[in-house]
Amino acid sequence: MKKRLRINVLIPYMDGEYYGTIFTELLKEAGRRDAILFAIQTQPSAGFADFFDYRIGTDTADGWILLTNPNTSYPASPELLEAIGATGKPVVTIGYREARIPCHSVIIDNRNAIREVVRHLVREHGHRQIAFVGAQDHIDLVERFEGYREALEESGLPLLDHLVYRVHDSLRQGGINAARQMLARGIDFTAVVASTDLNADGLIETLQAAGIRIPGDIAVVGFDDLPSSAENEPPLASVHQPIAELARTAADVLFRRIDGEDWPGDVTLVRTRFVPRASCGCGHAGPRPSAKAMVRKLAEARTLNRYLIDSYYQLTHNVVSASREAYFDFSKMFQGICRWGCLVLWEDDGLGGRQLIVRQSFCRKGDPAPPVGTGIPIERFPPAEWMPEIGDDEFVRIQLVRSDSEDVGSFSSWSGRWAN
């Protein structure tokens, strides 16, 4: 039987507009190339140290895709990166540049995107006092601020500290908090560049509630071009970043490098597109959704809500069922969710080190189950011989299990059902 490529994906989360879209596209691309994705989720189940420092599958991976940049929660440790780099296997980072190991980076052209926004506000609408709202917890957001700073300099405008509103998150609440600061401090600008659409949403809502007209008094531009942005009141001008293309480009680079193809340079920039709408003062709202389209979106939202509710009830039922056993029954946690899985715990290997030992496992009828009591070095976890045949739309998920005080181990579970 032909060996299928193993692609390790180091990722903080596997849901949401950004990470969920990227993972969904990577899964599709892996299926097209007869490869298996091993999703190593770095966000732990409980409290954690500053870095993710576990050499999961470093001996068995054919290639790596990294999304754990230094600005994310629990980034990859320098030691883990060194171990990955030492394998000599191709590495592609998504969304950030990684200078510590040989790799290729695929990133959104954030700087030029924001520079285009600022130039538009200055040249098309005559703004000279332009504020910025944004967090700094992701390299994309850092680069957007740098683009703002560079664009001001190009336009002959000073960078004024009191016009920079640094917020703690990229969500609506961040925009709400920034707007409250603006209102308390006094409005001394005519336009705002928000580093995300959700920041812009919260900002606009709070300013409008205070009687400020958008764009009559203040023009606002966001970033992300979320589907809801065109439906805002007023419709939100934004930067469209092709997240799916980001993932597809990264996959293309990785598989070409695995095939031995040289790739020019060490960075591929994915271009964005500025979408002017009424919030920046362009005077055109763009196409509004039809009643039929709105009904369809409502139906889709209800379907998603039903799926989330059903999944929650299923998991709650499984937790209760598992906890009723004389000991914790790992298999019952994932009944109806996963086809197989194993719980592995750290134990001494007798040689002064430690290895992972399978303490519980389960599988559906006819599939191989990881043998309880078997030890495995983390560098080979999970080995191919433990797994059933995995289809094109299926993946292996590896999640760290941690108590408040110590690492307990990891579990690997597979699911053929993926919904972002």
- Same domain? For 131 and 230 the reply is yes
Q: Which pLDDT band holds residue 321 (cuts at 50, 70, 90)?
A: very low
Q: For residue 92, give the CATH number of its domain.
A: 3.40.50.2300
175: burial class by Cβ within 10 Å (0-12, 13-18, 19+)?
buried
CA-based nearest residue to 298, from 242, 236, 198, 231: 231
The mean pLDDT of 278-284, rounded to a whole number, is 87
- Same domain? For 146 and 283 the reply is yes
| Tens-place pLDDT, residues 103-112 | 999 999 999 9
Of 232, 262, 288, the residue that ends a domain is 288
The mean pLDDT of 376-402, rounded to a whole number, is 85
Q: Which pLDDT band holds residue 335 (cuts at 50, 70, 90)?
A: low
Q: Is the pLDDT of residue 370 over 70?
A: yes
pLDDT for 2 equals: 64
pLDDT for 412 equals: 67
Cis? peptide before 215, omega within 30° of 0:
yes
Q: Find the domain containing 233 and state its range.
A: 110-242+273-288
- Same domain? For 210 and 114 the reply is yes
User: Could you tell me if residue 210 is left (phi over 0), alpha (psi between -120 and 50 degrees) or otherwise beta?
Assistant: alpha
The mean pLDDT of 385-407, rounded to a whole number, is 78
Given the DSSP bridges, would you call strands 104-108 and 130-134 parallel, antiparallel or unpaired?
Answer: unpaired
Of 231, 259, 288, the residue that ends a domain is 288
Q: Which pLDDT band holds residue 418 (cuts at 50, 70, 90)?
A: very low
Task: Please report whether residue 132 resides in a domain.
Answer: yes
- Same domain? For 116 and 49 the reply is no
- Same domain? For 80 and 1 the reply is yes
CA-based nearest residue to 268, from 141, 112, 107: 107
- Same domain? For 120 and 43 the reply is no
- Same domain? For 218 and 357 the reply is no
- Same domain? For 217 and 138 the reply is yes
Q: Which pLDDT band holds residue 389 (cuts at 50, 70, 90)?
A: confident
Q: Is the pLDDT of residue 318 over 80?
A: no
Among 149-158, 278-287, 398-407, the least confident range: 398-407
Spell out a b/e string for 281-312, using b for 16 or more CB atoms within 10 Å of the CB, else e. Answer: bbeeeeeeeeeeeeeeeeeeeeeeeeeeeeee
The mean pLDDT of 44-55, rounded to a whole number, is 68
- Round the average pLDDT of the chain to a whole number and report it: 85
Q: What pTM was computed for the model?
A: 0.79
Q: Identify which has the larger pLDDT, 410 or 223.
A: 223
pLDDT for 384 equals: 86
How many CA atoms lie less than 13 Å away from 279 in the CB half-sphere? 31
Q: Is the pLDDT of residue 98 over 80?
A: yes
- Same domain? For 120 and 228 the reply is yes
